[in-house]
Structure 1
Amino acid sequence: MAASLAQGDDAAAALSGAAPGIALPAGPLRFVHADAAPAGEAYEAFIFRTAQVPTRNNLHDFLNGLVWLHFPRAKQRLNALQAAEIARAGIGATRGPLRDALTLFDENGAVLDAPAALWQALLARDWQRLFVSERGLWQEARLLVFGHALLEKLAVPRKALTAHVLWAPDPGRAIPIDDAAIAAALQPAHLAAKPFAPLPVLGVPGWWPANEAPGFYDDAVVFRPPRFPRH
């Protein structure tokens, strides 16, 4: 599919051809040209009403389509929550806390299934503990990139790339981070409370050879120290 897009084929048609059997409340999932949505109708509202995803011929929208194909329940959940908020509050100058969180996860989110010690180190921005002293614990962790904008950025990796991470602990390490699990984790009250932790993803052991080098995590521009509240 990616090869056909690189040759100039239509992204919407290629994605639609790979989506048989995926059904949304409004009908079968389809990808359509970006100008299919009527002027004035919000993007998420149009998808919810028609089960059609406006798609441009670029990498960003193509990756968004691939996420729809791989995680249709989670994407449907995000879309339904966005559409409900739009129906409730309309489109204004700001999205509000829930729509901000939904958009952030959709574009730049990831899910971390890891031992509690790693999550606590991440929340504390204790990078040395997270990536050095507890490095072995990453063998028990799973990080799944969900956001299509983050996937696009990873096509040209750079050290500062940061995901907004939700924690999905599985003490038995037996349940995969799958579509249903991500959809179930997308609860409005939890998301509106901004539960994400920023994670420089190329610091994750095994994700980039450069992070094996001594001093890699000493870069305070990327691995920023915690911000303590002022008194």
Structure 2
Amino acid sequence: MLAAIDWSAPWLAPWRARGAAVAHSVRSGMAQTAALNEAARAPVRFVPQSALPSGVAYEQYIFDTGRVPTRDGLHDFFNGLVWHALPLTKQRLNALQAAQIERTGVRPVRGPARDALTLFDENAALLQAPDALWQALVAKDWPRLFGDLRPLWREAQLLLFGHALMEKLVAPRKSMCAHVYRVLAAERSMDSIDAWLAQDLSADQLAAKPFAHLPVLGVPGWWAANENPAFYQDVSVFRPPRARDTGHEVTTQLVRRK
């Protein structure tokens, strides 16, 4: 499945050097866990999914052991890349998950905090952008966001974080959306973003869903078809705001770990 990744895709540019090397090792016959461990920067070790004991929560196991149960395939491959590139943020999310488990236990239905933490981990994208661009995104003012303000995208950086989102974009479709979190780090390097996020994130904050909804193939430069203004007139994708929208609350179907 890793052979299906198009490393020339613009959304994978920040991940290309590290990811292509790991994918090459796997395609050359190395076990996926071994290839991720060989990359060596992550503060965790990747182990086969079978290492996760029955009845133990995935997040709790990582917190207790520093080992990440990993399945072969795209989903856990991208998860491993995020652990390598943004380790402080991944550790912070894991610690917040473990704290919620300690507080409420493992329930058949996750509470709002754990849902939000999982949503961020699976489907977030991180945006550094001028105020006007962020405000238009929150308002779902698509004509302004991708029309009047289109030149401002040259001053913005959108970094994919959610490994499920990256997995889905291996076969891109116009309807694919990210839950965008605004990053106010002073610099755009992954290390700077990682350090800022690890300090910024909290369970209560994420439970309030401070996200904006973005069809990612609408990002200028990410998809050739969006050079035509008609691309954004598809209201099944670029939906107008509803009367009850706050501009921040969004919903998604979470990808859950079995």
Gaps of 5+ in 2: 1-21, 246-258
Q: Which residue of 2 aligns with 1:14?
A: 35
Q: Which residue of 2 aligns with 1:81?
A: 96
Task: Report the residue type matching 1:127 in the other structure.
Answer: W
Q: Which residue of 2 aligns with 1:105?
A: 120
Q: CA deviation at 1:174?
A: 4.3
Cα distance change on mapping 1:175 and 1:60 into 2, 3 Å: closer
Q: Which residue of 2 aligns with 1:37?
A: 52
Gaps of 5+ in 1: 24-28
Task: Report the residue type matching 1:221 in the other structure.
Answer: S
Q: CA deviation at 1:55?
A: 0.5
Q: CA deviation at 1:175?
A: 5.1
Q: Which residue of 1 aligns with 2:183?
A: 168
The TM-score normalised by the length of structure 1 is 0.91
Q: CA deviation at 1:168?
A: 1.7
Deviations 1:61-119 (A, max 9, x none): 11101110111100000000001111111111221111111100100001111111111
2:55 is paired with a residue whose SS is coil
Q: CA–CA distance in 1 between the matches of 2:28 and 2:175? A: 31
Cα distance change on mapping 1:57 and 1:229 into 2, 3 Å: closer
Q: Which residue of 2 aligns with 1:26?
A: none
1:110 is paired with a residue whose SS is strand
Q: How many residues align?
A: 222
Query: 8 Å contact 2:96–2:202 — kept in the other structure?
Result: no
Task: Report the residue type matching 1:190 in the other structure.
Answer: Q
Q: CA deviation at 1:178?
A: 2.1
1:169 is paired with a residue whose SS is coil
The TM-score normalised by the length of structure 2 is 0.82
Query: 8 Å contact 1:116–1:169 — kept in the other structure?
Result: no
Q: Which residue of 2 aligns with 1:217?
A: 232
Q: CA deviation at 1:7?
A: 4.0
1:156 paired to 2:209: no
Over the aligned positions, Cα root-mean-square deviation in angstroms equals: 1.6
Q: CA–CA distance in 2 between the matches of 1:168 and 1:62? A: 25
Q: CA–CA distance in 2 between the matches of 1:221 and 1:120? A: 21
Task: Report the residue type matching 1:37 in the other structure.
Answer: L
Q: CA–CA distance in 2 between the matches of 1:213 and 1:175? A: 29
